[in-house]
Structure 1
């Protein structure tokens, strides 16, 4: 197999913007504010900061080190560490593939809502409009029976944009796109926050979010929630950061980059919390109810609560356009990074050139998304798939990979030396303690706690049959497909790949330290 010379980021800034763009996604805007509010308000920021320093940044550094050292996608990189570990990389790739199929759907909704905001087309009943008029959701979960054209065409448009950007490559596509997306996102969201702070009742909303309930710090579930939020918001555990770091130059600063990306992501989450709860404070004041009555998260926040606020707000249409454009931009940068994991893995496995890999493999992912989700049952499938692939795909795959790397392969000292060689901030024993002890224990507890809840009560009130078909089977299938892909590779006599896949100019510059 002929391996293509590996691309590299043009600048460190380009890599950081791409990494930050991947981390900042829909969850930062609609998940963090509700998690903080429900887990001690202002007091939640303490366990959140501890989780960032003991799990988030250490995991980022580890994934950066693996990607840069082996200069490959997760399956090939883990194979270089130990042949059986390849299965963990394919597991992560399949998880990314599943997430990409439904993440694009939410972006399609946001695209339509940019237009809906202009004339406030949801009318006086945003909830009825979302589930009835727009999504045409079936009365109960089941097999899809009809397509929804109003969701289908924006979904196709989202995939066209994503595949075109990916086709241009890492430097000319992903890097350039994020140099546009991230500044735009910051400008748009800063404008939203400033506008929300001028609304009547904004202070009430901020008090609800930030008033600390210190007694909650003694509640173990609050700490688990903090680690869960950090873990799911930083794009760690399903191959993205290993893939992005594989395009770094060999002298890149890993520790500093991880700290910049980690704190940038957390800063945006806090900014999102301010904007969301200032707006919810206005909504509560207008309705004469407590903030707790209007506080929500996820789809309900973005597509029901915010349209309700927009109806009451001066210049609400403009606010709506900017808000949903922010969702589109944040989601696009994340979706691009997720699909890149799949494309990179296939390129490393087959030696395919960029264009065929993007439109062949990426096109198949897009086709699966278009065939499955823009239907009357698409929302139910998305809900179940998202829950199970997050809980038992991303988190479990990361836990197993961490245990294998830290305890089975005992590779942390080697990865630490690799990171320290080129980083301004050197890692100490704390890094290995965090990854070898603290993070596995927390992730393990998250798994146990989640399983207890699953067996106590079916998620979302869905039937057992529906959850088996669209939840458990998808989560388990990611692992099974990962194993099968690995076995196919071994049976085909897959050889270890030459690590030196750079161009001659890059090899010549290898040992010169970058500025």
Structure 2
């Protein structure tokens, strides 16, 4: 078996589900659902899955399977003038991996703390001041936090241990264990959460439909943005994973299975989140609307606050919850290194083990900036730039290259011949060529406007720095001469 080939279709599906099911499902989606009309949000949400999520994944899978190569090599072979973009998206995704390692480190610390409620009586003070030593000053870069650095390095070692092996030996086997385990633990957490007094209060708040918001453009933009974020669209991960598949893969059915599993997980997670918020509301007398939040505030402040008043069950539910977050982060982070790693292997002829080791050393060193008192602020700035500006722009150009220059219609007969579910037709071509790029462009414009309106001077500075790192890194990998003679070779498969 090749070092970059799935041992079975199951490995491919579980790895893709692991990539999609991540931190965003637990800490982002419940808030998005609640703040965008509750039950009414499901209408734009389902439209976004059918109109963008599934069609775009099919496109990425189809082209990835056709080339059986890295993203950078495929883009170069489609049109050598676009090679820069072939490196742009893998490098952007690698930058996501670097700041994800910080969140993984924080959560690793909380797994240990959860056994004895080590965050104390005020989780907000502990997380912000005691753990992160958060500083709004640039001088915070000079304050190094050893505990966070060690926790992050532990995560990097785990990532290296899994990813430097041959694909099936490492990522394939781990996905077969971690992804089912992730779902089982979430079932236990949600099952218990639903039995808490006040759970119905939270669920009522979550699902109460605000139909008036359906006429609001922002709710539709939120739905499409959520699907881009949740399914890791345009990150070149789906393309790379599909290039590892065996010849008999049913890519259309796989796409539907992955999108369905991701949707079920994030909606199931929302049940648990709001059941617990409802319990907290009942105990504290605080309205759910004043408790709900997203991001690190939900995971590292609201949940520990709940566990503080939950009694003895907190010593079971707490570790399970933070372990779930860790596993979700780990399965996602393992996927973010694959596109850049495979592209480097293709161009420079390195082995998988050597490439992974090199990237993880580089990533670990850069990530130490997040182990400073100013690290939390930098993380927020970089996350906003990558997700709301860089990736969406890359997706638009990816649609142009794959749907127009490569010609998406070439894939229809091949994909249909293996599909056991739906069949593609002209409707799919219309979506990926016209509808999809327009919608993503609209979401990108909305994201840009949000960044411009809400940015502080410090955020603008780090946005520029992040852009410079991304563009320079991309340029260097583009202009370096290839060392692998196969870099120029490509045989048409479809």
The Cα of 1:327 is off from its aligned counterpart by 0.5
1:384 aligns with 2:381: yes
Structure 2, unpaired ranges of 5+ = none
For residue 464 of structure 2, what is the aligned residue in structure 1? 472
- For residues 476 and 440 of structure 1, what CA distance do their matches in structure 2 show? 25
- For residues 163 and 134 of structure 1, what CA distance do their matches in structure 2 show? 26
The Cα of 1:476 is off from its aligned counterpart by 5.0
- For residues 6 and 433 of structure 1, what CA distance do their matches in structure 2 show? 37
The Cα of 1:484 is off from its aligned counterpart by 3.9
Structure-to-structure mapping, 1:227-238, within 5 angstroms: 227-238=224-235
**3-state SS, counterpart of residue 372 of structure 2:** coil
Aligned to 1:348, which of 346, 349, 355?
346
- For residues 82 and 143 of structure 1, what CA distance do their matches in structure 2 show? 45
- For residues 321 and 258 of structure 1, what CA distance do their matches in structure 2 show? 32
- For residues 137 and 397 of structure 1, what CA distance do their matches in structure 2 show? 32
Aligned to 1:287, which of 267, 284, 288?
284
For residue 478 of structure 2, what is the aligned residue in structure 1? 486
8 Å CA contact retained: 1:119, 1:317: yes
The Cα of 1:6 is off from its aligned counterpart by 5.7
* 1:271-324: CA deviation from partner (whole Å, max 9, x where unpaired): 011110111111111111221010111100000000000001131121110000
- For residues 476 and 147 of structure 1, what CA distance do their matches in structure 2 show? 24
8 Å CA contact retained: 1:48, 1:227: yes
RMSD between aligned residues: 2.0
| 12-21 or 391-400: bigger deviation | 391-400
8 Å CA contact retained: 1:79, 1:496: no
**3-state SS, counterpart of residue 144 of structure 1:** helix
**3-state SS, counterpart of residue 6 of structure 2:** coil
Structure-to-structure mapping, 1:433-512, within 5 angstroms: 433-458=430-455, 462=456, 464=457, 466-475=458-467, 477-489=469-481, 496-499=487-490
| 193-202 or 281-290: bigger deviation | 281-290
For residue 408 of structure 2, what is the aligned residue in structure 1? 412
| 333-342 or 302-311: bigger deviation | 333-342
For residue 207 of structure 1, what is the aligned residue in structure 2? 204
- For residues 143 and 97 of structure 1, what CA distance do their matches in structure 2 show? 25
**3-state SS, counterpart of residue 142 of structure 2:** coil
The Cα of 1:192 is off from its aligned counterpart by 0.5
8 Å CA contact retained: 1:240, 1:338: yes
Aligned to 1:48, which of 45, 62, 65?
45
The Cα of 1:400 is off from its aligned counterpart by 1.7
The Cα of 1:135 is off from its aligned counterpart by 1.2
The Cα of 1:329 is off from its aligned counterpart by 0.4
The Cα of 1:88 is off from its aligned counterpart by 1.4
8 Å CA contact retained: 1:95, 1:394: yes
- For residues 476 and 215 of structure 1, what CA distance do their matches in structure 2 show? 42
Q: TM-score normalized by structure 1?
A: 0.92
- For residues 177 and 195 of structure 2, what CA distance do their matches in structure 1 show? 28
- For residues 106 and 348 of structure 1, what CA distance do their matches in structure 2 show? 30
For residue 505 of structure 1, what is the aligned residue in structure 2? none
Q: TM-score normalized by structure 2?
A: 0.95
- For residues 338 and 138 of structure 2, what CA distance do their matches in structure 1 show? 32
The Cα of 1:167 is off from its aligned counterpart by 1.4
| 145-154 or 193-202: bigger deviation | 145-154
**3-state SS, counterpart of residue 296 of structure 1:** coil
- For residues 361 and 413 of structure 1, what CA distance do their matches in structure 2 show? 36
The Cα of 1:384 is off from its aligned counterpart by 0.3
The Cα of 1:493 is off from its aligned counterpart by 10
The Cα of 1:197 is off from its aligned counterpart by 0.3
* 1:425-476: CA deviation from partner (whole Å, max 9, x where unpaired): 3212221122122221111111222222333332xxx3x2x22332233135
- For residues 394 and 481 of structure 1, what CA distance do their matches in structure 2 show? 15
For residue 298 of structure 1, what is the aligned residue in structure 2? 295
Structure-to-structure mapping, 1:63-462, within 5 angstroms: 63-142=60-139, 144-314=141-311, 315-369=313-367, 371-407=368-404, 409=405, 411-424=407-420, 425-458=422-455, 462=456
Runs of at least 4 residues of structure 1 off by over 4 A?
Answer: 492-496
**3-state SS, counterpart of residue 190 of structure 1:** helix
1:62 aligns with 2:53: no
Going from structure 1 to structure 2, the CA distance change for 1:351 and 1:205 (only over 3 Å counts) comes to: same
- For residues 65 and 197 of structure 2, what CA distance do their matches in structure 1 show? 50
Going from structure 1 to structure 2, the CA distance change for 1:26 and 1:249 (only over 3 Å counts) comes to: same
The Cα of 1:418 is off from its aligned counterpart by 3.6
* 1:87-131: CA deviation from partner (whole Å, max 9, x where unpaired): 211001110121111101100111110111111011111000001
Paired positions, count: 492
